[in-house]
Chains A and B, each alone.
Chain A
């Protein structure tokens, strides 16, 4: 993801709350500290399909906002 961002592509990472600090640290380590991180509720494993859809819905507003900003 960091490499894609460095090439100028629109990039973002979706992660669950306990992994936010790790995500921020890794973005810094890989030289893309401004990489957007969209936080969704934990967990990701062991979810019903409805719960997976709810996670996607939770991420959607920020995702759309970032896409629009990136498109400008």
Chain B
């Protein structure tokens, strides 16, 4: 175990304030260290408890978080996880999400500072999602599940307090997003007719992973009538194909399509694999040039994608994503006929990381990480 007392001797490592819930909250709020909601005071004892499942050096940065490029050490992350209300068992998922977000392909710098309303969506796969009680069913995106709410919130607080994504200063999102409070769910693997996301990506079924997405909030896709795969996919592609959707304007778009279990069952029963679904959406989620404003056609689409559209007629179709592989399919939710389209920042890739021991073995239970 590292020496917390020693670590707290570093400049500005800690602060002293009256031992009172309201006083701590006023102190943090006045310094912009909250998301506007009350926080749990990050006392030395609580932060030390949060680190009980941390298998990394407490002062060794996991990432440098832009735009401030603050060092995200386990110690600092643990303080934010305490503030968010996490349990110590949740903390390895918080660290793994930050590690995934520091992958250059994710483009955290752009995501933090952009005017676009994206927030990091954290999708957890594998047995540890179930062990931690990360909701994948009814109301997976909230409210109600403690793990979903606090893991997502801890990541967001770290992005603000360590990364400097302060609204209007480092986070220039035009109107923000309710998902900037928390945005975390597990895939409903038990209710999916397809292989789970982590298995599709080459991880073992018994491995657990975190996937991060620079995501807009979910946009609902209502279809209570279609009984065939083609019928449902037509509704989905039609809902996604709009001239203002963010992904259509960006060559690196990586949108996510969330299937509720009932819709997934219908589409799979029609013989569609995930790859077939992606191919269908690539071919059919398209908007004709005639649906865009003249300015968007002439100043943007014809110039940004000249090979396809520089001289194309107004009936030419612009795809929402630029290849079938750019789509990600996940199954999340409970009973009902509501799926969702989750557009993204555009200039970003999804990043997945496995929860592993130092020697590279998959962590099979969160209890394997408990120290002492």
Contacts and interface: CB of A to CB of B under 8 A. Distances in A.
Contacts of B218: none
Interface stretch (A4-12, A16-24, A53-61, A63-71): A16-24
B67 A18 contact: no
Interface of A: 18-19, 21-22, 25-26, 29, 46
Contacts of A25: 67-68, 164, 169-170
Contact of B68 (A19, A21, A29, A46): A29
A26 to B, nearest CB: 6
A21 B169 contact: yes
By DSSP majority rule, is chain B's interface helix, strand, loop, or mixed?
loop
Contacts of A29: 67-69
Interface residues of B, number: 10
B168 interface: yes
A22 B172 contact: yes
A46 B68 CA distance: 30
A37 to B, nearest CB: 15
B281 interface: no
B113 interface: yes
Nearest to B66: A29
Contacts of B295: 46
A48 to B, nearest CB: 10
Max chain B C-beta neighbours (<10 A), residue from A18, A19, A26: A26
Contacts of A21: 168-169
Interface string B168-197: 111010000000000000000000000000
Nearest to A28: B68
A30 B164 CA distance: 14
12 contacts: A18-B168, A18-B172, A19-B172, A21-B169, A22-B113, A22-B169, A22-B172, A25-B67, A25-B164, A25-B170, A29-B68, A29-B69
Give me the 6 closest cross-chain CB pairs, A-B, nearest first.
Answer: A21-B169, A29-B69, A29-B68, A26-B67, A22-B172, A22-B170
A18 B295 CA distance: 25
A25 B109 CA distance: 14
Nearest to B109: A26
Contacts of B168: 18, 21
Contacts of A18: 168, 172
Nearest to A45: B115
B224 to A, nearest CB: 38
A55 to B, nearest CB: 16
A5 B172 CA distance: 25
A28 to B, nearest CB: 9
A1 to B, nearest CB: 14
Interface string B43-67: 0000000000000000000000001
Nearest to A26: B67
A64 to B, nearest CB: 29
A29 B169 CA distance: 13
Contacts of B170: 22, 25
Contacts of B68: 25, 29
Given A22-B67, A22-B172, 13 more contacts: A18-B168, A19-B172, A21-B168, A21-B169, A22-B113, A22-B169, A22-B170, A25-B68, A25-B164, A25-B170, A29-B67, A29-B69, A46-B295
